[in-house]
Amino acid sequence: EDQVTQSPEALRLQEGESSSLNCSYTVSGLRGLFWYRQDPGKGPEFLFTLYSAGEEKEKERLKATLTKKESFLHITAPKPEDSATYLCAVQRGGADGLTFGKGTHLIIQP
Amino acid sequence: EAGVTQSPTHLIKTRGQQATLRCSPISGHTSVYWYQQALGLGLQFLLWYDEGEERNRGNFPPRFSGRQFPNYSSELNVNALELEDSALYLCASSKGTAGEPQHFGDGTRLSIL
């Protein structure tokens, strides 16, 4: 059975204070690892797809990395508008449904 | 480009009733996915439709069913509603190729009284 565990469950940072979110996964035949951001009352917004160990992707203040067992979402010099729940998900073979972690609730204080 | 649209935004039902939720995918996307996001449980995969066929389902009872129409829109039906079915139901669409990202709508909030 596929499993995704995210840590920490919640994280409170000061504006400009960089940190990392962790996503540990177990899946047979990983097709892709996905990061999403979800704001209250909204659906998840796609951020990144990572396909193989060693891959990195960047977008503004966010950088995602992937190893064979985990992924990290690094947030550099965050701003209050980066406050959201960040979700990690994995997909096994085929264009199948995703298995999600429970998310990290990130709060950036001004 | 229009994103994934879902209707209705909110739906209130009583135990034992039936609910129908609707989803229009992004233009050009052939796969539609349904997820349940209940409080404290995270997003749980429900159903995957592609080219009008059900391709896979998650660990949910048969009273959760749906279909995909020739224009790739989809509906989710939940029969014999139970209190624990109260949740946000999210629809996502993709191009139907392994590894392609799924793009989500803002969901239907289903409340069972």
Find out whether the peptide bond into B25 is cis, omega within 30 degrees of 0: no
**pLDDT tens digits for range A77-86:** 999 999 999 9
Percent of chain B clearing pLDDT 90 (strictly above): 91
For residue B97, what pLDDT is reported?
84
Give the span between the Cα atoms of A90 and B52, in whole angstroms: 24
pLDDT in tens, chain A (110 residues): 889 999 999 999 999 999 999 999 999 889 999 999 999 999 999 999 999 999 999 999 999 999 999 999 999 999 999 999 999 999 987 768 999 999 999 999 99
**pLDDT tens digits for range B54-107:** 999 999 999 999 999 999 999 999 999 999 999 999 999 999 888 899 999 999
A95 and B58 within 8 Å at the Cβ level: the answer is no
- B4, B98, B105 ranked by CB distance to A93: nearest: B98
A99 near B CB under 8 A: yes
Give the span between the Cα atoms of A92 and A31, in whole angstroms: 5
B93 near A CB under 8 A: no
For residue B99, what pLDDT is reported?
85
Give the pairing of strands A45-50 and A99-100.
Answer: unpaired
A94 and B55 within 8 Å at the Cβ level: the answer is yes
> In terms of Cα–Cα distance, which of A77, A73, A74, A78 is closest to A107?
A78
* A41 → chain B, closest CA residue: B106
Average pLDDT, chain B: 96
- B4, B56, B96 ranked by CB distance to A97: nearest: B56
For residue B98, what pLDDT is reported?
82
- When scoring B24, B43, B100, B108 by the number of chain A Cβ atoms within 10 A, the one with the most, hence best to mutate, is B43
Q: How confident is the model at residue B23 (pLDDT cuts 50, 70, 90)?
A: very high
Beta-carbon contacts of residue B61 (< 8 Å; ≥ 6 apart): none
Cβ pairs A/B, distance under 8 A: 72
Give the pairing of strands B42-50 and B10-13.
Answer: unpaired
Residues of A in contact with B41 (CB under 8 A): 102
For residue A92, what pLDDT is reported?
87
How many other β-carbons are positioned within 10 Å of the β-carbon of residue A5? 13
Residues of B in contact with A93 (CB under 8 A): 98
A32 and B31 within 8 Å at the Cβ level: the answer is no
A31 near B CB under 8 A: yes
Percent of chain B clearing pLDDT 70 (strictly above): 100
A65 near B CB under 8 A: no
